[in-house]
A and B are shown apart, each in its own frame.
Chain A
């Protein structure tokens, strides 16, 4: 089997896994795989391995169960490329087993899962050992997800992980510097601006509209995007400068949001709490002087020291509004008029 090594799920269906029975066939197949990007990612590496004939394809994964605040094993005897459909259409075929975090995963629990997957005799311990190992991988790498699909049961009754996928937890990367170093070279579905924002530690997601958005606080920015949508406008991005945004962060955010050529108008939504509105107003003016912002800005500034903040902006001829609704409507109106 020839397998493309790419950081995307569902590569088999996308043509990234192909069989070959002779060396020259393998050469041709590899050439095709190397020249076909998979879900937008070009193929730099392939893995050539023995083709296995499977009696069964199992699915085994370990995930974070948010509402139970624990890790959960999800598995099924109907593994393979259609596992999403199985989960969708026949959820009863997905077995789930919650792991008690105070005792970790015990061997007997792995055996229970193996039995629920229909194992008997010697196979129970064999599959249980793999399940225990997968959980150890999850813990060792601080992963959010470890998934083997398919986990193959061969004709002779052995188990082999035909594939393994790990999703790392960004918050634990400081414990795994080897991945932090590699991350810069692998950014499968991020735009160049998103990569840049990520390096500057800004929460930025590029969208396909024309109203640039900056706000302080993730929830507030999401609410701003929703309001743009309700005004029949389209946001160009999500950008959160965070609760205690200082001048440097605000400048970095402005730089990134304005670097998107689709942006026709910039909406800044600040709810001053710990952040003081007059500080934000001064930062905006300062940045405008330094960067020479040519796009129209709509600024909504309320909260701590809002009167002083507004006064600073008014004196510089930058209008500011006091409700999110008004600000969103105004930004959408301006965007619709800019050619």
Chain B
């Protein structure tokens, strides 16, 4: 059984008339994702890639049954769009937008938590259940269906590792980018919990990076709950200097916290196999 999204998922694209929204709607449709409607305020009545556009999510839902949303709205309007999706009971909400103010993210996550809505991102490549449904901007062809669950804070590094898994004939159940921002919705721990309960998933690949303590929290969870499935992890940023933001807003070492070393040792201590190179993840999981 797929996690979060699958063949039956019916999605709305918010910000469908923008260039990113239009382009990725086309790619998602080609992948086989069921996109039932798009939303852009003021553009209702249009059609993009054959998908009807509405002014509000509410309008779209009057015409089509929909479960999930993917958002390509620019940063200044992204919180509003996500709140609109949450208000209309769409779940999960995949927030692709990069550069959202942290205050907006905090307010948004508080509302999502109250309504029990899963927000994936922001600043994420999205989520894919290979061969079934893609809600994101990742290249579909590097993924393949199988038994590995993949969780990542990165974009292209995810494609890199997914491609090496696929080449090693290790397909994936679901791959999720949790996002590169300091404040994100879905976490490593949430995903580990879902993969734990998913009979299709037999092992997990985790891709972390410097900054924050999400990986340490994952290590704690794995250790304390005697996690039953093998986990292999790669942590990017061993060579990063402290105090500098490495591309992602969340990738910054503050004082002694957030270094690759503390993350690697916490994970290793929890029994996670550490890959020192992206390509080693496949080797670790192959040997399981």
Q: Which of B107, B214, B277 contacts A101 (CB 8 A)?
A: B107
A-chain residues with CB within 8 Å of residue B180 when the two chains form the complex: 218-219
* Contact (Cβ within 8 A) B240 A217: no
Q: Which of A102, A142, A226 contacts B110 (CB 8 A)?
A: A102
Q: Which of B75, B214, B278 contacts A223 (CB 8 A)?
A: B278
Query: Is B249 in the interface zone, CB < 8 Å from A?
Result: yes
Query: Is A28 in the interface zone, CB < 8 Å from B?
Result: no
Interface positions, chain A 302-323, Cβ under 8 Å from B, are 302-304, 323
Question: Of the 9-residue stretches A121-129, A169-177, A256-264, which lies at the interface with chain B?
Answer: A169-177
Chain A contact surface mostly:
mixed
Query: Is B18 in the interface zone, CB < 8 Å from A?
Result: no
Residue of A nearest to B180 (CB): A218
Which of B111, B156, B244 has the most chain A CB atoms closer than 10 A to its own CB?
A: B156
Question: Knowing A220-B156, A226-B236 touch, does A240 contact B247 (C-beta < 8 A)?
Answer: yes
Query: Is B55 in the interface zone, CB < 8 Å from A?
Result: no
Tell me the bound Cα distance from A302 to B160 in angstroms.
Answer: 9
Residue of A nearest to B241 (CB): A207
Quote the shortest CB–CB distance from A327 to chain B (angstroms): 12
Which of A170, A174, A273, A304 has the most chain B CB atoms closer than 10 A to its own CB?
A: A273
Question: Knowing A222-B236, A222-B237 touch, does A273 contact B101 (C-beta < 8 A)?
Answer: no
Query: Is A13 in the interface zone, CB < 8 Å from B?
Result: no
* Contact (Cβ within 8 A) A304 B237: no
List 23 interface pairs A-B (beta carbons < 8 Å), by A numbering.
A64-B102, A64-B106, A66-B212, A67-B213, A67-B214, A69-B110, A142-B102, A174-B76, A219-B154, A219-B209, A220-B154, A222-B236, A222-B239, A222-B247, A222-B251, A223-B160, A229-B238, A235-B239, A243-B156, A271-B156, A271-B157, A273-B137, A323-B279
Chain A residues with a Cβ under 8 A of chain B:
64, 66-67, 69-71, 84, 100-102, 139, 142, 144, 169-172, 174-175, 189, 203, 205, 207, 215-223, 225-230, 235, 238, 240, 243, 271-274, 302-304, 323-325
